[in-house]
Structure 1
Amino acid sequence: MSAKVAVQYGHALRRSGAVFEAAQLYERAIKLRPGMAAAWLGLGIARKALGMRSAAIAAFVETLRLDPSIGNARAELVTYGARGEQGQLAGRKTSMADAVKGLTLSMREATQWRRELDDLSVFPPASYHDYRATLAVKAPVDVPASARQPLHILIQARGAPPSAIRGSLQSLLVQSSHDWVATVLVDDGVANHPVASLAHVEARIRFCATEQADAMDEGWTLLIDAGTLLHPLAVDWFSWTTSMDCVAAYCDHDRVERDWKHGPYYSDPILQPVYDRYWFDDPETTPAALLLRRFPAGNHMIAEYLAMAAKEGNVAHIPLPLASRSGQWRASALRAAMRVPDVYDGARICVIIPTRDNPALLKPCIDSLLRFADRPEQIDIKIVSNRTALPESKALLRELGRRNGTDIIDFDEPFNWSRANNIAARNCKADIFLFLNDDTEMLTQGWDGILTRLIARDDKIGAIGVRLHYPQGGIQHAGIMFGLDDSGPQHEGRWQESGFEGPAGRWSRTHASSAVTGAFMAMPRKMFDQLGGFDEQDFAIAYNDVDMCLRVREAGALVLYCPDIIMIHHESVSRGSNLSAEMVDWDQAELESLHHRWGTAIFLDPAYNPNFTKTGYPFDGYRQPSSQEVVEHVRRSATTEPWAVRRQH
């Protein structure tokens, strides 16, 4: 067999679902012709389908090395979250830019090249310093002077070294806006240190050894820790937000290492979401700069001030890295953010599982749920049997039905996921519903207690999703995000290694999400009843989970992603590669229904910072947001319900 025939046969096998055999044929072709780029590309796609992330990336990189013109290999790297592996393509970027500018291409070619140029304009995650060093932060839009408020900069410096205090004050002295005064809260001994001489050089600076300065509870206060360096336009932007309907505002930040000869080096960005108390329930994500309309009395840390402000009114987010932490000292790290004690109120959970002739996965699914539950006696299970036919399936259902609290519901209709779950929910009186795929397997001890405690302590929770892993390893779901490539909703974290935590550890932190998958979706019964269940008419197969999450947010509740619960999901890594044309058309039709109902809401994600790439793989690089994007984001964030959505039809 020649290398060319092996590749063609490999393509046929891969499309038919025989991915492992296809990979073997691609490897055989490569042995015959090591320089055959098509064989390397096919091998990369096959390895990706098998969950072999590192090996797949290596194959795509080799494809580009052999033939840089193969756009499919570059596209695979971008969609796979490996943008930084593309190599040096600056020459191609320049030639494409010139061609687009000169309109020397056909419209179709220009459109494709424009997209590639946008991709190449994104800085890979490892190149954050280059992105930050070239980021062109512009002054905010004009606001009448009467609408802007002067800022009182309060620098928490108790226990801080004088060098940290000096750094923060020097960053204030180069602000483009001069409408500020600064108070440095220090220990008694600092008043005699040379750093205190800056109060004699600049009249707007004063050092204060008391707990609070005069009139500190009046006007707008910008709170930072000593050692935090502000961008030269920081005061301008925070002053601009005082014209918003908000009681507080925060910005993005990073870490900076200063070198007198080579200049600053930026790293470890925290590109924040719209305000989410769960995201900020962690000292590591505490904003480096916080603007407050009213500064309450007390010796609190920034995280605590933010939590208190959020209870009083709207909190705005400025999606720009206007602050950089330097050095090792950090006052906010001395205390953890406030946490609500865990409570348990004896809530029952009803697990609803539609199934059809899948006994090899259904049994371990249910066994693992009960084995890892702290209170299995508090769990009801409703198995919706959709025209089960295999003898072994019927035997398993009879066996499972003998357990007290487990019911088998006959669903003798054409399959409709939404209807199957709604029918089961009508026959369950539990406090919490858990809608679950039959191809999942629980890995977390005490998962039931985690769910009930979350829901019991926060009546704003409308739905909860969890972290799902592929059986071969790697993340399959870490929440659902909107707005990338102007395409439909997609899973966060897909194909990443199981131990990878994502940007700022987001895939290992509980936080609000735009949506979560119906493969595991827990809901308080009262929320499910309030919304009238899943939509059986427009979303029989796909996007019923996303539509439900949007309706939860429309009702003013939160959709929560909880990585403390981990399950295996036996969904194929190559899902979509073997779909028939009819299945694709059906999926597109239900996506159209989702768009018709929700409009632009399915392109806006409150958790997705506009500094992240808008093309390719979520969070896989940084791009310069336009001034309009920044302003629109700030305005949306400074609303009463920044996570709420409105339907279009």
Structure 2
Amino acid sequence: MFFIRQQLRKIDWLARFYRKHFTDLPFDRTEEGIRRQQQLELSQLVSSETCDNESPRLLLLVMDIEQTEHDLIVQSIESIIKQNYPHWCLLLKGAQTQQYSKRDNRIYHFDNCNVLFTKEDIVNLDDENSPFIATIDAGDLLHPFALQAMYQFITPTTDVIYSDHDVIDGTKRHSPCFKPQWNRDLFFSTDYMANLTFFSIRLFQSDKENGFDWLTCWEKLTTDYRRCLHGLKQDSDLNIQHLPYLLYHQRIVEKNAHAEHIIEDRKALTNFLATRATSVEQGLLTTSHKINWLIPKPEPLVSIIIPTYNGKALVQQCIESVYQTTQYTNFEILLIDNQSDDQAACDYFQTLAKNNKVRLLSYHHPFNYSAINNFAVEHAKGSILVLLNNDIEVISPDWLTEIVANVNREDIGCVGAMLYYPNDTVQHAGVVLGLGRCAGHSHKHYPRGSTGYMNRLKLVQNYSAVTAACLGIRKTLYQQVGGLNDIDLTVAFNDVDLCIKVEQAGYRNLWSPYIELYHHESISRGSENTSAKRKRAKAEINYMQNTWQLDTIVDPAYHPLLTIEREDFTI
């Protein structure tokens, strides 16, 4: 089914037909039901294409058997021997390897591998079929079709490929980790790929100049996180693929060196970003990293754009929170008055302007959120824009610093925030395309402080879109992509449309949990409670579906097996 879905998505009208008529069919969305479905799909996959025995791709697996129980080692080795893909070698590290190498002639002692793997008839680094290498922890298991699936997904340009995994506790498998496609900023935050990550040995060729053969170079890097950084250092456009199947089963065991590895990974990340970041420190989790990106001197001016219609109390709360909480000082506030008729509000806005708290601009046309912001951008003096709703309340001192630091990165487009409802539940933590067959918010209604699915509420990462309730972007980029669509998207989804255009222009959109604000959502605008508003809302949804195929898309920051019916990141 996965491959059928992939093919359908390439044909727009067929994709929409499929999503409309077939995704509502009954489907066992329990963990066990999904495993059965994946088993069926994998069976179809491996039977649909046979391995080319004349030109096999060698898949190398390295396993350290030191300090691991004999029975667990045997189970791991058996899961490899039972692979239906035959062209593999297992390299064992540690003492007592001889007893295990006798189980199969494809099992070797790691220290005796160099001669074997430099023979031209086995390994040719210039060949399109050059080998891939991965680590498996002793005690963990491979799905029987794991290597066959990897073989069939690897292309001549693949550099790295990783799969989904679940956890083994005793004899029970649970906690499937359904991962996104390659997500660079999520990777900078944590080793989210983990488990069964195959690397092309091409990535380790360059260190021959330093006297290292590729196998020694690969081993010196110690962890997959450092190996991936090594590849990115050589080629920032590394071709990293995600195979969305549960191919690896991780056993719960104590790994004493885990904390030390994370510290060393953080040092490697610090060195990798030496010219782009001031420091890398522990993030919101002990397993995560927080990057403090460089901000140019002098600090760029930020234009904070706040549209409003009346709403004196909201505007007052918003602007006072900006001035009282924000540590970053080089900003201006553009308050755009859209035909306010409440005298108290108008008087307050004039007072703000007289006290140089805001630059007050008047927009004398009917409400059009896109047009109001586009109008304001024309008057903005800053090189960085922050679109901010009038119902936002700032609660983190570093919010603007974090926006500026990330917006300043040349490969980043829009930057979004962690927004909470006043009851301290999550309102916005990134936008997922395809939710509700259009777009929806990540982890909506999770309690403040939650870690979220795979810890994603605590990690900086790339999302396809973020909300304009608080959105940072370079002014030049905003203008380059044409700003907000003030013709087709006058109220809703204009921010999603903007983010998609920015992404198509070659930039990554980013969401950060370090930008925290309260969002008293849509209080001033009200709900879609009239026939005209409902008609307009439907037209905007139709526009997004027809323009960006959001009724058929699988968001690269999401996973095809996670729900599109809810905004809670569940199966």
Give TM-score scaled by structure 2 length: 0.79
Amino acid at match of 2:228: L
Are positions 1:239 and 2:147 aligned together? no
What is the alpha-carbon distance in structure 2 between the residues aligned to residue 211 and residue 383 of structure 1? 68
Query: Which residue does 1:348 correspond to in 2?
Result: 301
Deviations for 1:7-28, whole angstroms, at most 9, x for unmatched residues? xxxxxxxxxxxxxxxxxxxxxx
Q: Which moved more, 1:510-519 or 1:528-537?
A: 528-537
Are positions 1:221 and 2:132 aligned together? yes
Query: Which residue does 2:570 correspond to in 1?
Result: 620
Q: Cα gap change, 1:302/1:129 in structure 2, threshold over 3 Å: closer, same or farther? A: farther
Query: What is the 5 A alignment of 1:150-169?
Result: 150-156=58-64, 165-169=73-77
Are positions 1:257 and 2:166 aligned together? no
Query: Which residue does 2:181 correspond to in 1?
Result: 274
What is the alpha-carbon distance in structure 1 between the residues aligned to residue 499 and residue 190 of structure 2? 28
Deviations for 1:374-410, whole angstroms, at most 9, x for unmatched residues? 122x111111111122121122212222344631111
What 5-or-longer segments of structure 1 have no aligned partner? 1-110, 259-263, 622-649
Are positions 1:324 and 2:249 aligned together? yes
CA contact (8 A) 2:334 2:358 kept: yes
Are positions 1:373 and 2:326 aligned together? yes
Q: Cα gap change, 1:348/1:215 in structure 2, threshold over 3 Å: closer, same or farther? A: farther
What is the alpha-carbon distance in structure 1 between the residues aligned to residue 241 and residue 383 of structure 2? 35
Query: Which residue does 2:82 correspond to in 1?
Result: 174
Query: What is the 5 A alignment of 1:192-591?
Result: 193=96, 196-209=98-111, 215=117, 218=125, 219-227=130-138, 228-243=140-155, 245-258=157-170, 264-283=171-190, 285-294=192-201, 295-296=203-204, 297=217, 298-310=220-232, 311=236, 313-330=238-255, 334-336=260-262, 337=265, 338-339=269-270, 340=273, 341=279, 342=292, 343-345=294-296, 346-376=299-329, 378-404=330-356, 406-456=358-408, 458-485=409-436, 487-571=437-521, 579-591=529-541
Q: CA deviation at 1:114?
A: 8.6
Amino acid at match of 2:85: S
Q: CA deviation at 1:498?
A: 2.3
Q: Which moved more, 1:360-369 or 1:281-290?
A: 281-290
What is the alpha-carbon distance in structure 2 between the residues aligned to residue 362 and residue 350 of structure 1? 16
Identity score, percent: 22
Amino acid at match of 2:410: D
Query: Which residue does 1:12 correspond to in 2?
Result: none
What is the alpha-carbon distance in structure 1 between the residues aligned to residue 131 and residue 526 of structure 2? 53
Q: CA deviation at 1:508?
A: 2.3
What is the alpha-carbon distance in structure 2 between the residues aligned to residue 381 and residue 210 of structure 1? 67
What is the alpha-carbon distance in structure 2 between the residues aligned to residue 239 and residue 441 of structure 1? 51
CA contact (8 A) 2:389 2:470 kept: yes
Q: Cα gap change, 1:511/1:143 in structure 2, threshold over 3 Å: closer, same or farther? A: farther
Deviations for 1:132-174, whole angstroms, at most 9, x for unmatched residues? 4774232444166166512122235566666654443222111
What is the alpha-carbon distance in structure 2 between the residues aligned to residue 161 and residue 453 of structure 1? 48
CA contact (8 A) 2:462 2:509 kept: yes
Q: Cα gap change, 1:215/1:333 in structure 2, threshold over 3 Å: closer, same or farther? A: farther
Query: What is the 5 A alignment of 1:113-192?
Result: 118=26, 121-123=28-30, 128=31, 131-132=34-35, 135-136=38-39, 137-138=42-43, 139-140=45-46, 141-142=48-49, 145=52, 148-156=56-64, 165-186=73-94, 190=95
CA contact (8 A) 2:368 2:490 kept: yes
Q: CA deviation at 1:255?
A: 1.4
Higher helix share: 1
What is the alpha-carbon distance in structure 1 between the residues aligned to residue 413 and residue 551 of structure 2? 18
- Residue aligned with 2:168, SS: strand
Q: CA deviation at 1:362?
A: 0.7
What is the alpha-carbon distance in structure 2 between the residues aligned to residue 211 and residue 149 of structure 1? 17
Deviations for 1:565-598, whole angstroms, at most 9, x for unmatched residues? 121111169x997621211110111222223322
What is the alpha-carbon distance in structure 1 between the residues aligned to residue 527 and residue 29 of structure 2? 28
- Residue aligned with 1:201, SS: coil
Higher radius of gyration, 1 or 2? 1
Aligned residues: 491
What is the alpha-carbon distance in structure 1 between the residues aligned to residue 428 and residue 540 of structure 2? 21
Amino acid at match of 1:582: A
What is the alpha-carbon distance in structure 2 between the residues aligned to residue 544 and residue 590 of structure 1? 9
Q: CA deviation at 1:603?
A: 2.5
- Residue aligned with 2:243, SS: strand
Q: Cα gap change, 1:577/1:611 in structure 2, threshold over 3 Å: closer, same or farther? A: same
What is the alpha-carbon distance in structure 2 between the residues aligned to residue 361 and residue 222 of structure 1? 57
Q: CA deviation at 1:511?
A: 1.2
- Residue aligned with 2:165, SS: strand
CA contact (8 A) 2:431 2:441 kept: yes
CA contact (8 A) 1:275 1:317 kept: yes
Q: CA deviation at 1:431?
A: 2.5
- Residue aligned with 1:281, SS: helix
Q: Cα gap change, 1:556/1:578 in structure 2, threshold over 3 Å: closer, same or farther? A: closer
1:605 to 555, 559, 567: 555
RMSD over aligned Cα atoms:
3.0
What is the alpha-carbon distance in structure 1 between the residues aligned to residue 500 and residue 223 of structure 2? 34
What is the alpha-carbon distance in structure 2 between the residues aligned to residue 222 and residue 436 of structure 1? 47
What 5-or-longer segments of structure 2 have no aligned partner? 1-18, 205-216, 274-278, 280-291
